[in-house]
Amino acid sequence: MLVSDVMTRKVVAIGPDTPIRDVQALMEQRNIRHFPILQTRSSSEPDALIGIVSDRDVRLVGADHPRAPAGVTSADPISKLMVYPVLTAHPEDPIEETAKVLRENKIGAMPVMDEGRLVGIVTGIDMLDALVRMSGVYEAASRLEVEVANRPGALAELLRHVASRNVNVSSVMTTRGDPDTVSFILRVSTVDGHGLARYLRSQGFSVPWPPIPSTGQAAQGRGSADSDHVSADPVGGSDAKA
């Protein structure tokens, strides 16, 4: 997923001479938190990005607040408040890279520039939306956590076992515990997350979630149904039937 997949294309940009009070009004009316500031150049060149302001900078003007900008009034031009140089993104930047830049610099948004031209803006909320989409949470699924050794091929092997059950994977997320293990969070499109977990455990995987279901009377009650789930030949399952 790239910045161009998640950015807002209709950017409201303003000129450096815009009075701060006009920006305040625009911010409230349009519900916008970040304004790139563009300087017009000759007609053959695109407007230059010379700064950016956020809603916090603008709201503090004239406020009785220790961090209010000294000597600035709402009649002043926005150029008195703007921050520069501006960190920018490119439409083809991967979103994880963009998210990292936003967090490392503790900023809420970046203008997106392509060949010197402002083509969009990308915000922290866009990153969160992208993460939600990438997690596969909008698809009906069971969620499994599987711990594997941190070595080449471990994920491939896990997914090969999942595939052998003819279960579709809607997303894989990775978290790291100690340096020797990796936890994968799988979202799989099956109701029988327990059945898949049982199978993976039988193949030697560590599956911290879902929990092992209640046993006891159930073992007798479930009879053949239960043994079905741990049948020795998973490949002979649905493929052969269908």
Partner 1 sequence: MRGRATRFVYDPALAGFELAPDHPFKPLRFELTRTLLMATGLLGEADLVTARPMDDDLLLAVHDERYVAAVKSAATADASGRRAALAAYGLGSSDNPLFDGMHETIARVCAATVTAVDLVATGEALRATNFAGGLHHAMRDRASGFCIYNDLAVAIRRAVDHHGLRVAYVDLDAHHGDGVQWLFYDDPAVLTISLHESGRYLFPGTGNTYETGKDRGRGTAVNVPLEPFTEDESFLECFETIVPRALAWFSPDLIVLQAGADMHRFDPLADLWLSLDGMGRSYRRMVELADEYADGRLVVTGGGGYDPYQTVPRAWARAWVELTGTRLPDALPAEWRDEWGLRLGVDLPETSHEDPSTWPPAPRRDAITSRNRSVVERLVPTLEKIWNDSAVKGRA
Identify which range of 17-25, 33-41, 76-84, 186-194 contacts partner 1 by CB under 8 A: 186-194
* Binding of partner 1 by 146 (CB under 8 A): no
> Both tokens of residue 197?
């977990």
The closest of 131, 146, 139 to 186, measured between CA atoms, is 146
* Under rule CB under 8 A, residue 241 binds partner 1: yes
What's the min distance (Å) between Cβ of 62 and partner 1?
A: 36
- Which residue in the set 47, 114, 157, 192 belongs to the binding site for partner 1 (CB under 8 A)? 192
Question: CB of 64: closest distance to partner 1 in angstroms?
Answer: 35
Give the nearer residue to partner 1 in terms of CB position, either 116 or 208: 208
| 40: contact with partner 1 by CB under 8 A | no
Compute how many residues bind partner 1; rule: CB under 8 A.
41
Of the residues 191, 203, 206, 235, which one makes contact with partner 1 according to CB under 8 A? 191
Given a contact cutoff of 8 angstroms between Cβ atoms, the answer to whether 26 and 37 are in contact is: no
Helix (H) or strand (E) segment spanning residue 57: helix 55-59
Among 148, 195, 201, 202, interactor with partner 1 by CB under 8 A:
195
Tokens of 208: 């911290």
Interacting residue with partner 1 among 29, 42, 43, 220 (CB under 8 A): 220
Q: CA–CA distance from 109 to each of 38, 124, 188, 198, 207 (Å)?
A: 16, 6, 33, 45, 38
Distance of CA 108 to the CA centre of its chain: 14
| Residue 70 binding partner 1, by CB under 8 A | no
3 state DSSP class of 44: coil
Phi, psi of 70 (to 5 degrees): -70, 140
* Residue entry with tokens 């049982």: 198
Nearest to 104 by CA among 96, 112, 114, 93: 96
CA separation for the pair 92, 161 (Å, rounded)? 34
How far apart are CB 173 and partner 1 at their closest, in Å? 14
User: To the nearest whole angstrom, how small is the minimum distance from the Cβ of residue 185 to partner 1?
Assistant: 10
204 membership: H or E segment, kind and range: none
- Per CB under 8 A, residues contacting partner 1 are 137, 139-144, 165-168, 187, 189-195, 209-211, 213-214, 216-218, 220-226, 228-229, 231, 237-238, 241-242
